[in-house]
Amino acid sequence: ASARVVVIGGGFGGATAARSLARAGIATTLVEANPTYTACPFSNAVIAGLRPMEAQRFGYDALRAEGVSVVHQRATGVDATAKRVILADGTVLPFDRALVSPGIELRFDALPGYDEAASRAMPHAWQAGAQTELLAAQLAAMPDGGTVIMAVPPNPYRCPPGPYERASLIAHFLKSRKPRSKLLVLDAKDVFSKQRLFEAAWAALYPGLLEYVPLAMGGRVTEVDAKARRVTTDFGSHEGAVVNVIPPQRAGAIAQAAGLADRSGWCPVDPSSFESRLVPGVHVIGDAIIAGAMPKSAFAAHAQARVAVAAMVAMLRGAPVPAARLLNTCYSLVAPGYGISVAGVYRPANGVLADIPGAGGTSPLDAPASVREAEAHYAEDWFATITADAFA
Ligand code: FAD
């Protein structure tokens, strides 16, 4: 009989992996809880009223047409000894190897006052869908002259530049629609992705409107009160008309249930094959893993899917695992027609994914508007390409 692989999670990592496995002739089952996937990249533009939510939604028909067996169920366990995945409805799916790409779980136990109920008053919008629409609706409904507050978590978390792109686009929304309003960004760290590019853009585009408070200046939020829409820091408390709390995160729940995550909450893997260091025969990719220098991004999950599948196919055939180089680029919009990016190239070294020195870099700090405009187009082209590759 031919080899069987079960993939858990049909996001950027899992959908790409399932399609690649099917194309390699492997009998592949994809287990995904939701019939429709809602993509996070560009969801900050939805929040700022610049893009329709429909542009974020993708289905699984194209994967089915390529022979992937798609099952819309929640996986509740992985029995690596018996080599089977257990689904919420009791179905058991046997496998020769499994791949898990479950994304993140928000930690509703990490920030006092911020639990799932609180997220309905103070949306996180860090898993795209209803939360994205809630934050967009709150911004649209707030009075001109109100304060918007963002609470940004410490590392590691999904999409390192994402909070700063969101701050930029909310500032753009306020500047054009509610110009007497303010945005207060409270950050639990002092250093962040593309920092000099963001700060230069904020000084040029949003002076007096966007106030950024790093950890050293008392930016860490220690407690929230959802009813009062109040956040507390070591230096005092602030009330907002709209409060966006991005809480700390860990690997998706199935990673914890299957014993794939260590005490950090994230999954250690072999960087050449993405096989779990804790559960042999099960590979993990995407946001859920400890990826060394590689960020938690859709681009990274997609690149890791390709490398993991090449390794799994080799292992199933008893062949050596090929050596890999992985690429990542993260684009951010700071305003419509104004894009910036950071790129990196990675390889397995000393048991982790390490940066290849001298490869990659960020957009130039001093660049004409034409370069920013071109990068905004590249961002859109990137989204069209990666979503077509994973879902279309
Ligand atoms: P996900 O895409 O989250 O997919 C996980 C899937 O697994 C989900 O569909 C979930 O339903 C399913 N699942 C989980 N558990 C189970 C289970 N037990 N059973 C069945 N199904 C399950 N990245 C970029 O590269 N560029 C960007 O510009 C960018 N912008 C972003 C902006 C924002 C605001 C945010 C929040 C993120 C952004 N990202 C961006 C990051 C990107 O969204 C993630 O890194 C990416 O989605 C990770 O892919 P994944 O496969 O690991 O997880």
- For 297, phi and psi rounded to 5 degrees? -140, 165
Residue nearest to atom 48 of ligand 1 (CA): 298
Which atom of ligand 1 sits closest to the CA of residue 166?
A: 34
Residue nearest to atom 46 of ligand 1 (CA): 298
Tell me, using a 6 A CB cutoff, whether residue 34 lines ligand 1. Answer: yes
- For 289, phi and psi rounded to 5 degrees? -95, 160
- Interatomic CA distance for residues 249 and 193, integer angstroms: 18
Residue nearest to atom 28 of ligand 1 (CA): 41
- Interatomic CA distance for residues 38 and 198, integer angstroms: 26
Tokens for 198, please give them: 């963001």
Ligand 1 pocket: which of 86, 159, 194 to mutate (most atoms <8 Å of CB)?
159
Tokens for 56, please give them: 């974020």
Amino acid identity, position 296:
K
Which atom of ligand 1 sits closest to the CA of residue 300?
A: 25
Tell me, using a 6 A CB cutoff, whether residue 33 lines ligand 1. Answer: yes
Which atom of ligand 1 sits closest to the CA of residue 332?
A: 28
Asked whether this complex has an ipTM greater than 0.90, the answer is yes
Residues 239-268 as b/e (b if ≥16 CB within 10 A, e otherwise) read ebbbbbbbbbbbbbebbbebebbeeebbbb
Tell me, using a 6 A CB cutoff, whether residue 297 lines ligand 1. Answer: yes
Tell me, using a 6 A CB cutoff, whether residue 387 lines ligand 1. Answer: no
Distance 126 CA to ligand 1 centre (A): 9
- Interatomic CA distance for residues 14 and 203, integer angstroms: 39
Alpha carbon dihedral 102, 106, 109, 114, in 10-degree steps, equals -160
Distance 174 CA to ligand 1 centre (A): 28
- Cα R_g (the chain), whole angstroms: 21
Structure confidence at residue 19 (pLDDT)? 98
- Interatomic CA distance for residues 132 and 129, integer angstroms: 5
Structure confidence at residue 2 (pLDDT)? 82
For the chain, 392 residues long, give each residue's pLDDT as a single digit of tens.
589 999 999 999 999 999 999 999 999 999 999 999 999 999 999 999 999 999 999 999 999 999 999 999 999 999 999 999 999 999 999 999 999 999 999 999 999 999 999 999 999 999 999 999 999 999 999 999 999 999 999 999 999 999 999 999 999 999 999 999 999 999 999 999 999 999 999 999 999 999 999 999 999 999 999 999 999 999 999 999 999 999 999 999 999 999 999 999 999 999 999 999 999 999 999 999 999 999 999 999 999 999 999 999 999 999 999 999 999 999 999 999 999 999 999 999 999 999 999 999 999 999 999 999 999 999 999 999 999 999 99
- Interatomic CA distance for residues 257 and 100, integer angstroms: 12
Which atom of ligand 1 sits closest to the CA of residue 379?
A: 28
Are 249 and 127 in contact, with CB atoms under 8 Å apart?
no
Structure confidence at residue 1 (pLDDT)? 59
What residues pair up with 230 in beta bridges, in sequence order?
A: 225, 239
- Degrees, nearest 5: CA angle 75-78-84: 100
Distance 144 CA to ligand 1 centre (A): 33
Side-chain-side CA neighbours of 172 within 13 Å: the count stands at 20
> For the segment 230-265, what is each residue's pLDDT rounded down to a tens digit?
999 999 999 999 999 999 999 999 999 999 999 999
- Interatomic CA distance for residues 34 and 19, integer angstroms: 17
Tokens for 101, please give them: 């790409």
Which atom of ligand 1 sits closest to the CA of residue 14?
A: 51
Are 254 and 8 in contact, with CB atoms under 8 Å apart?
yes
Which atom of ligand 1 sits closest to the CA of residue 330?
A: 26
Are 192 and 228 in contact, with CB atoms under 8 Å apart?
no
Tell me, using a 6 A CB cutoff, whether residue 331 lines ligand 1. Answer: yes
Tell me, using a 6 A CB cutoff, whether residue 56 lines ligand 1. Answer: no
